[in-house]
Each structure stands twice: as structure tokens, then as C-alpha cells.
Structure 1
Amino acid sequence: MRNAKRARRVKHVLLLLVLAGIATIAVGALRPLFGAGEALTYESREARLGDISTHMSFGATISAKHSQTAMAMARTSVSEVYVATGQGVKTGDKLLKLENGSTYVSEIDGTVDEVAVSAGDAVWPGATLVQVCDFDGLQATLKVDEYDIHSISVGQKCTATVVSLGLSFETEIAHINRISSGGSVAYYTVTADIDAPDSVLPGMEATVAIPDGSVEGAVVLDMDALAFDEEGAYVLVRGAAGTYERKPVELGIDDGMAVEIVSGLEAGDTVYFADGAAEAEGGFSFGGIYKALFGETTVIRDRSETGGRSETGGPGDAIGGGETSGWNGRESD
């Protein structure tokens, strides 16, 4: 009988130890759920006077305005060659003569780029004989689709940049071919003449930037301070009670970084925008539950270049609801 009581006592002690261990583990696991809550973090931006310019940018290729490729028209052989590679020629200068009596002359002023045959060589229809190119008359050739072609006109100022060389040339649109190339979307060939050094060659990749709009001395604001809802753009401002309130703004042009404020703000006005979350002491947090179950990813943002100060608002700071959305703008000069 005494042994049975002793066995029950030992069993009770072991059960209490197991329960104490489970409680200790549970407290450690659930502590993050009751430790820290979350509060929105705000950054500020100031409206200011500034200039904004935008442009349309197109991919282009450098090409020669004038070139000539002399090709054989019949099966024969070369009788005489009158020029050499790199030689300058004028319109009408002889290039070569074939055994069938055909004589080829230069159709342009330029430079002999290649002599593909020698005297005595056999040739056949379509064979290349001599190439002549005017390397002083280069142009940037671009394709513009039907959605943008209405914004392009002959004489329009533009900047052509040779990508590999980093060279830019101020020029203007010289010609628009108004007969489109095929496809589901119509494309039109547009050219701009460039006065380029010898290092620029036909076939090089280029870009052409065409001014699209500009404002000077306007009220401008960094675009990350904007928010949008079904009624349009708005910003957050501090109300008399210290809460954040929505203020509608009318937008003008933007360059992808800053936007013109047509109405709603004056230069010097300060606006705010939510930027992530900061931890607040105490309280139960569903964020804590998520972190405890699945872990946490921390994103560090360098604010050293923003010039804005950070403010942290608690759950009592009203921001008027709504979600912020991104904004895509044109490229900047």
C-alpha cells in the first residue's frame, strides 16, 4: 500500500515538471506576440520652385545618307580596277571595267569602302564588286510607332547620342517617311542628320531624345510624396490637431522624379507620406504573430540623400485611409 502511494506521488511530481517545461517553452514562443506593435513611419517633403523638362526617347541606328554598291549583272570577269580601298572619289569617277565591256562609275562623292575583286577574277550576277560610302553624310534613323508619330515634325529639335562612344549631337528631324512598315502596329521611319567625327560609323546603336514639354519656375514636388485614390492625386498635410489629413492636388508634367503641382500646394508647404512601419512598445500585434510563425524580412532604406525627416505616428494619427500607388513618368533630360 505504501509503495503504491509513493509511486503515485512520483508520478504527480513528474507530471508537474513536464507541465512546467511546457509552460516555459510556450511563454518563450508567445512572447513576441505581446511585445511590440506597429506604427506607421512618415517622411516629409517640401514643395519648391523649380524647372521640369521631359522628352521622348527612341532607339536609333547610325546610317549613311548616300552609299553605292556596284554589283555584277552578268557572268563574266574583271578587266580593270581603277580604285583602291580608302580612296576618295567624285561622282562620275571610274571604279572598274568588266570583260563584257561594262564600266562602273561612282554615283556619289565619297570614299571607296571596299574593293571586293581584282583584275582577272570571275564574277557572276549579284556579286559585289565595289562599295562607295559618303562617311561625311551620316544620319540617325529611328522607327516611330503610330501612337507617337503625331508628336514628331520636320525641323523639331532633338539630341542624337551614339551609345558605344557616348557622343551626343544637337540636331533636328530632317525627314519623316509617311509610308509605314508592316505589322499590327504601324511604324514610320524618321531621320535626323548628324555632323559626326570619323569614329562614328554606319550601323552603330544610338538614341534620339526629342523634347516633349517643359515648365520653369513652377511649384514642384518629389513624386514619392504623392498618393492616389479614385478621385485623383492627393498629399498628406498636418492638421490643426496634429493629425495627417488628405489634400487634393492638381498635377502637371513630370520627369519621373518630380512633378509640377498646378494647384493645391505653394512653395514651402510641407507634406508627408507613409514610409514603412516602426515598432511601438507594448500591446498585442498580429504582425508579431506573423513574425513568430514565419520569421521576418527587414528592408533597410538609405534616407541620406532624400533630405526629408522621418516622423513616427501612432495608431491615433489619422491619415484618412486609402492606398498609395506608383507613378511612371517620362524620362528626364
Structure 2
Amino acid sequence: MGVVRKWIFPILRLLLLAALAAALVKIAFFPDNAEASDPAQPSGQITQPEVAVALGNITNEVTLKGSVAADPAVAVTATGMGKVDEVFVSVGQWVDAGTKLYDIKVETVPEPVEGVGPDGMPTIAQPKPTISYAKVFAPIGGTLTALTVLEGQQLAVGDTTGQIAPPSFSVTGALSPEQQYRLVSKPTEAMIAITGGPAPFQCTGLTITTPLPGTGDGAGTATGGAGTGTAGGTGTTVRCAVPADITVFAGLAADITIAAGSAENVLTIPTTAVKGSAENGTVFAPLPDGGTEERPVVLGLNDGTSVEIVSGLAEGDTILEFVPGAPPALDAGCMPMPGGGVACEGK
């Protein structure tokens, strides 16, 4: 037993250390695949993700940030040329549509009458002027916020003489050009959610107005209810009338959700896979040799994430998930930086 401990174990230990040292030397200086470890040669491959065309459901809803605004006042205009005869209302008074506000005394001078006198000489007679009264009525129901006429004041047809503020409200919001593509069906209703207000409700009479070139301030004219007014802003404006039984206040923030159609069991692909977002587009199909083939497609509904394929592809077709060369899609709250990279809120 003493011989084993004194000679055998030390010799085995030395042999094991020698074998380990030899293995390390071979790995370090004599690798088996030295020719494949050249760092100057690429060892990876870049593959583009693909996606298959599949059946799905699409609900096209556009959500906008908006606010509650009182409907604009409607002007009161003179309907005759003459002097104000009598004023029947006062500023601050509530008036119903059709209420007589004031009337105008109109004198009409007839044409001279030519004749022949007793002496046979031609004569010209001037008849007396005729008197009529032009009545001015309230164009809508509301509060008379201004009335600038006085008895005896001379007016001409079309002169603005006051204004009436209706008791109604509307929700307005700005619509970007890209969102207009998703509302080509011209919806007439929207769902409104008032911040800190009542439960979401449906509003009717939805209008989408775009300012005409050369209007100066870029205001678009919106028509709703009994009067017309100007929707402020420099772009396309969405306006929707708040029902009379809903209590709101001017300045409240609101979310406007506009439904513009839905489709079930239709061919869909991600919006990132198609070049174009409305009517016509192009997708890229992979080829066996590693290249791609462009395929034109006709587009339908778009929910912002997926788009309907009306024609150009069949169920199961494989296409690239991202358009080659397109910038990466940004998450909500993120924006590209001028020097490169992306900045996101809270990150």
C-alpha cells in the first residue's frame, strides 16, 4: 500500500497533466479547420422574413384626437334697402327660428310717366313713391348675441346687422392626408368618447371639409344643422354634431372613432409587405435563386396593420414581410433622429 501511494499515484498524476498540456498545445497551434477561421471571410447569411397570404377579418376604423366646440354663430343680414322702421328684439334674448327681429321701410320710386299736355306739348309726371316693409327674421334658433341696427338707420341689402349663437355643439378633429385614403367611403357617423364626460355616444351629420386654395387662413366651411360656419384649422377637418340630449362643454377633449367598413374572410397581408397603401400596390415574392419578383396587387380595406388584397395574390402565396429598402416601421411615440437612430418617449 505504501508503494502505491509513493510511486503509482504520483506517476498517474504526471501522465494526466502531460496529456492535458499536449491537448492545449494542439488546440492553440494546430486547429483542424484553420482554413475556415479567417476573420476576413463572412460566415453568416442574411435572410429576409417571409409571410404567407392568409384569410382574415379587417375592420377599418380611424381614430382621431378632437375637441368639443360650440357651433359658430349665424349672421343676421338685411333683406331690403331703406331705413330701419322698428326693432322688436334685444341683444341677449332667445329667439326661435323665424322670429321677426326688425323691419325695413323701403321706398320704391316708380318710373316717370310721359304724357301730352292740354297744349299738345309732351309732359313727364313723377308718381309718388310706394312704401313697403321688408321683414328680417331669425335664420336659426338661439341667443341673439349682437344686433347693431337702430330705428331710422339706412341699410342696404346684405348688410350684416347681428348674429345668433345656436345652443348646439360639435366635435372637431384634424384628418391627415394619409387617413383620408381610409375614408373614401364618406362615412356620415362617428363614435365619440369625451374625456371625463358621459359614456361614448354616436354623433351624426359627419362632414369632412378641406380648405379651398387661396382661402388665406385655410379655414374650411362646414355645414351642419340649421346654419353654416367656418371650421378653423389649416388642413382637412372632421366635424360631427353632438346630440341635443348629451351635455358637453366647449374645450373638452374627445376621441373620434370613424368606422369606414369591415370585411370577413378576405385575403390579408401585413401593411409592411406592400408598397402603397390605397387602391394599388406592389408586393415582392421570393425566387428560388434568392432574388425577388414584383407583383402588382389591388388593395381594399386597411386597418393600419393589415390590408385587404382584392386581386393579384392567392391564399398561401409567399411574399416578403417587409418591402426591400423601406425604412423600418416606428412604434407609437417614436421618431427618427436627424443624425440617425430612433428616439422614443419614456425610453
TM-score (norm 1): 0.41
**More relative contact order in 1 or in 2 (CA 8 Å, sep 6+)?**
1
Task: Report the TM-score when normalising by structure 2.
Answer: 0.40
